[in-house]
Amino acid sequence: MFTKPIHERYQFSLRMMLGAIAVLACLFAATGYLIDRWHKGEPERRMRRMNELILSNGGYWGYRGASEDVPAGSFLSLDHATTTQVDLILRELKAFDGQVDMSFRKSQFGDAHVKEIVGHRGLALLGLNKTSITDEGLNELAGLKALISLDLDNTAITDRGLEHLAEHPELQYLSLDNDAITDAGLEHLAKLPKLSDLHVTGTKVTEEGIAKLKRSKPNLEVNVYYGR
């Protein structure tokens, strides 16, 4: 029986081993690439097939109620989202002409982003708790005539910004907890025809200011705690 010299056998084994390593390296690289593409591209591809898209803790994506198209009344909640993530979602939503309500609680959402959402004229619920919106951004929101519920807790909104809210004919729920609001700001809210639920805990409004507001809106429920 013919036997190859030992050095040839070692060379053959080495070539086999190097070939196997190369194949494994390619597989690992391909797997990493696919995983990376999945994380980057999947949220964009599936946006229009989700009833609810939740982005929380700065990068965790969760999906509920998959369907062929986003139905009317869908809800988009972004919790602790970065500016990049907010930009991504709002860019994708430009191509969506159905109704979608939004919450950007504790996200890096600012006045510049407001201009991106006013195109959704059917937006009824908007949560901006602990965002960077200011009075200028609130002015931009005037275009959302269908707005029913607005959460502005823990923001930089002042009395001057509340003047712009008078342009929301359907607004029923408004939360201003821990904002720099005074009795002067409440006078602007008296112009909201359908306002029925107001939250002003942690503000500078007084009992006298609330009483004056309720005289013009007797069915208004005002939620406030003075910490006494």
The predicted structure's pLDDT at residue 177 = 97
Closest C-alpha to 98, from 127, 64, 122, 67: 122
Phi, psi angles (nearest 5°) of residue 117 = -100, -15
Q: What is the largest CA-CA distance in the chain?
A: 110
- pLDDT bucket at 215, cuts 50 / 70 / 90: very high
Average pLDDT over all residues of the chain: 77
The predicted structure's pLDDT at residue 98 = 64
Q: How far apart are CA 140 and CA 159, in angstroms?
A: 16
Q: How far apart are CA 222 and CA 214, in angstroms?
A: 8
DSSP SS3 for 8: helix
Condensed to tens digits (0 to 9), the pLDDT of residues 161-208 reads 999 888 799 999 999 999 999 999 999 999 999 999 999 999 999 999
DSSP SS3 for 16: helix
Cα of 81 vs its chain's centroid, Å = 7
Q: Which of 32-41, 111-120, 169-178 is the most confident on average?
A: 169-178
pTM over 0.85: no
- pLDDT bucket at 13, cuts 50 / 70 / 90: low
Q: What is the mean pLDDT of residues 125-151?
A: 92
Pairing type for strands 100-103 and 125-127 reads parallel
The predicted structure's pLDDT at residue 14 = 62
DSSP SS3 for 21: helix
Task: Specify the DSSP class assigned to residue 71.
Answer: P
What is the amino acid identity at position 205?
V
Task: Specify the DSSP class assigned to residue 149.
Answer: E
The predicted structure's pLDDT at residue 123 = 85
End-to-end CA distance of the chain: 101
The domain made up of 48-223 has a fold known as 3.80.10
> In this structure, are residues 67 and 51 in contact, taking their beta carbons and an 8 Å threshold?
yes
Residue 96 has pLDDT above 50, yes or no: yes
Q: What is the mean pLDDT of residues 48-68?
A: 43
For the chain, percent of residues with pLDDT exceeding 70:
65
